[in-house]
Amino acid sequence: MRRIRAASGTLLIAITVVALTFITVSTIAIAQDAPRKFVLHDAPKPLPDISFQDGNGKARSLHDFRGKFVLLNIWATWCAPCRKEMPTLDRLQAATGGPDFEVAALSIDRAGLDVVAKFYRELSAENLAMYIDTAGKAATTLGAVGLPTTLLIDRDGREIGRLVGPAEWDAPEMMAFIRSRLTAQTGSPMPAVHGPAVAEEKMSPDHDFIVHPF
């Protein structure tokens, strides 16, 4: 009996190690794969001006962000992949947010700001502003086919490209990708990140990205 218990314990440990290894490898794969799955447009695509509210209940729209680049993440607290990637978006905002760039996390929770505020507190999110569209019209208007959906938007409110699905937004590969896209749009290097130094990859415009013609 003791031998059976010992064998069962050893098997359980082995299964746990394999499971943790699989999760780790999967997480790394997501971080490395996300830039390649980002759908880029041949030319920036005009976007409709959506309406939503900020954390104070004030009416806001995409037009309010004109003059800066925006990474618009459409998410919800009931979306498990959204919850998992949210800390990385918070860290991305901490590292790169400023006059030229903002990570805008737009919740479509129908329950309202209270559930979003509660999740932010649980997450200890200190860098992301709260934005919410309880009617969910923004997601429909922008053609979000799933959650999370993230749009990279230029200073004129036009879509550079989008990613459907989660990503590790503060991973070096993703941060280098975003900076390369913004640099391509401005024609000059973007300012250095505010947070820890990130080793940037040298990427050509045709670095295995999916280009969607419009």
Q: Calculate mean pLDDT across residues 7-22.
A: 40
User: CA 109 to CA 185: how far, in whole Å?
Assistant: 33
What would the two tokens of residue 147 be?
């959650």
Domain 36-212 sits in which CATH superfamily?
A: Glutaredoxin (3.40.30.10)
The answer on pLDDT for 71 being more than 50 is yes
**Which residue's entry shows tokens 């607290």?**
77
Domain map (residue ranges) of the chain? 36-212
Q: What are the pLDDT digits (tens) for 154-211? A: 999 999 999 999 999 999 999 999 999 888 887 766 655 554 434 333 333 333 333 3
User: CA 163 to CA 146: how far, in whole Å?
Assistant: 10
User: CA 32 to CA 21: how far, in whole Å?
Assistant: 17
Residue 34 has a pLDDT of 77
**Which residue's entry shows tokens 């997601």?**
139
User: CA 38 to CA 60: how far, in whole Å?
Assistant: 27
